[in-house]
Amino acid sequence: MHVIPAELSLHHSEILLVYSSHRQSSFVMSCNDVVGYLRQQQERYGSAEGERWGRMETMYNKRLWHQLTVELLDLVQSPAFATGDRIIKLYENFISDFEHRINPLSLVEMILLAVRQYSDPESSLKLLEKTKEKQTLDEVRVMLDKLQGVTSLHSRFYHTSSSYYQVMGEHASYYREALRYLGCVELAELSVAAQQQKAFTLGLAALLGEGIYNFGELLMHPILESLRSTDNRWLIDTLYAFNRGDVEAFYILKGCWDTQTDLAANESKLKEKLQLLCLMEMVFTRPAHRRQITFQEISSRAKLPVNKVELLVMKALSNGLVKGSIDEVDSKVHMTWVQPRVMDLKQVSGMKDRLEVWCEDIRKTSLLVENHAHEVLG
């Protein structure tokens, strides 16, 4: 998709953070240079901060890497390091000398703070390139799956992963990873602008993503409401039209979505996807004993010529969206199953109505058996 947030350059640089750091940096200096830097800092800042630099020199000389890492993590998050380029200088003159001995996650935490002190993304990328060896998104995913609960690492990973797939134009993968990211953060942590941008790109990915036939999870997420007061509110209506397989509503909205380049360029694919969703909705809304649907009914609802209905059903069957059979002689299909989906409130209401009808049928049958039981038993 071509809509990429202005800050994505920085987020793209974060992708490079998920790399192994086993290779020595080109910034490596001699031990004397490191000690010289540490003593310079002690003399420059004095008092409490000077004592901290002294402790770090002692830890460095004794090779107490864990204790030194803990001290550094606390240091780089202090207010004194929040502005300017102090973290960059700290990395170049000190951390880079022993980064291969630092816990990878801790190193990422520090480098992430360092790259944000650069004024342009290119400089951030140059710093990150010095510590990269190979991409390890898949390896990190396996490690995350083994962790108990949800940690801050999960949100950062899914944010990085979704940003990567967005840059690569892999809509379906972006959609899945971005939803996982939203599941790891509180919505209030995102600015209104960030919510609107995320909702918009997620909506486009849902429509354009190959194999995505379930929009319920996105439609039920409060982030989508951030678009309600914007010029992009048409995207919400478009997603709902797809979710209920409403071809007619989709084309009523054409004047809106046709202005979005990616959607306009993929109109034929969108229509095919919508027609498949239309078929799924027809199967879903029918009682189990009334799932014989004529070609003409499908043609009318999906706005598709009758002679192309069979091909549509075959695509649905081959994609595992429905199960059933085609009766070419009588021009009917008999469906036995439809792929489960996360339902919106309207669909839940429809299911409630069907359950009530089913319960009423059971009650009537029960009464019928009860009233005529003596005839059977007699």
DSSP calls for 257-299:
HTTSHHHHHTHHHHHHHHHHHHHHHHHHTS-GGG-EEEHHHHH
Dihedral in degrees, nearest 10, Cα atoms 269, 273, 278, 284: 170
Query: How many Å is the Cα radius of gyration of the chain?
Result: 29
- The confidence score (pLDDT) of residue 242 equals 95
Q: How many CB atoms lie within 10 A of CB 362?
A: 10
pTM for this structure?
A: 0.64
- The confidence score (pLDDT) of residue 313 equals 97
- The confidence score (pLDDT) of residue 95 equals 92
**Helix/strand/coil for 336:** strand
Widest CA span in the chain: 107
Sequence spans of domains, the chain = 19-134, 152-265, 269-338
> Is the Cβ–Cβ distance between 117 and 85 less than 8 Å?
yes
- The confidence score (pLDDT) of residue 31 equals 58
| Tens-digit pLDDT string for the chain (378 aa) | 544 343 333 343 343 343 333 333 333 344 568 889 999 998 888 777 889 999 999 999 999 999 999 999 999 989 889 889 999 999 989 998 998 888 877 887 888 889 889 888 888 888 777 655 546 667 777 777 777 777 777 888 898 888 888 878 899 999 999 999 999 999 999 999 999 999 999 999 999 999 999 898 899 999 999 999 999 999 999 999 999 999 999 999 999 999 999 999 999 999 999 999 999 999 988 877 788 999 999 999 999 999 999 999 999 999 999 999 999 999 999 999 999 877 767 767 777 777 787 788 788 888 887 777 666 665
- Residue 174: name the closest of 140, 211, 131 by CA: 211
Helices and strands, number each (H, E), in the chain: 21, 3
Hey, which CATH number is domain 269-338, 2.60.40.3880, 1.10.150.120, 3.40.50.300, 1.10.10.10? 1.10.10.10
- The confidence score (pLDDT) of residue 17 equals 40
* CA atoms of 131 and 22, how far apart (whole Å): 8
* CA atoms of 313 and 113, how far apart (whole Å): 53
Strand-pair category, 292-294 with 322-327: unpaired
Inter-CA distances, 296 with 57, 219, 305, 308, 332, Å: 81, 31, 9, 11, 9
- The confidence score (pLDDT) of residue 282 equals 94
